[in-house]
Chains A and B, each alone.
Chain A
Amino acid sequence: DAGVIQSPRHEVTEMGQEVTLRCKPISGHNSLFWYRQTMMRGLELLIYFNNNVPIDDSGMPEDRFSAKMPNASFSTLKIQPSEPRDSAVYFCASSLGDRGTGSTDTQYFGPGTRLTVL
């Protein structure tokens, strides 16, 4: 299995531009998670989906952030407009849970997208 795939691996953009991060979860997994990692705040859960449906988006910092999962094999995280404080590494993870988004399900992380907003 190729694991969780994220693209791009690196993104440099200017303030005000739209940024779209992409994720392909492991085939057969039914839950997908978006995280943000910064030195100051560590690893934060932004949003997660179960069976393509958003379950909890309470971690999304503000309306500039949106996430979609149009099908079981693809998800996007969009920032519009981007700001310098959005600079971080964004991780996508997926899991296979027999109880949906159970807290003890093993999550498999992608390699991350390093976003720099100038």
Chain B
Amino acid sequence: AQSVTQLDSHVSVSEGTPVLLRCNYSSSYSPSLFWYVQHPNKGLQLLLKYTSAATLVKGINGFEAEFKKSETSFHLTKPSAHMSDAAEYFCVVTRASGSARQLTFGSGTQLTVLP
């Protein structure tokens, strides 16, 4: 069994300030974790993924996430927000050696970037 919780449904930051989107997971198995981004009226796009290699994962557009097994967390960060980062972000957990049916999507975090 597995689940994923995105702790904030909405996050608002000013342009140029750091971004932190929080994700906690639970899994009976060795997990793999993803962050996807969805811009308005667009499909989801992969930002980064953790698949049991390095615990600090760097993704596109300056985002990174750190897998912390002791805290069962996979928070997404970016040092400096840009207006184009405004979107909805989804944390996804799956079993590392499972099938696509085992992907579990979080409920999403809407990121607003203020000028």
Contact = CB atoms under 8 A, between A and B. Distances in A.
Interface string A85-118: 0000001010100000111111111111000000
Contacts of A31: 100
A95 B96 CA distance: 16
Contacts of B26: none
A4 interface: yes
Contacts of B94: 103-104
Interface string B94-106: 1111111111011
B51 interface: yes
A33 B100 contact: yes
Contacts of B107: 42
Contacts of B63: none
Contacts of A101: 99-100
B46 A93 contact: no
Nearest to B103: A103
B49 A48 contact: no
A106 B49 contact: yes
B90 A103 contact: no
A14 interface: no
Interface in B80-110: 90, 94-103, 105-108
A77 interface: no
B32 interface: yes
19 contacts: A31-B100, A42-B107, A45-B101, A55-B99, A56-B99, A93-B43, A93-B44, A102-B99, A103-B100, A103-B103, A104-B32, A107-B100, A108-B43, A108-B46, A109-B43, A109-B44, A109-B45, A112-B41, A112-B43
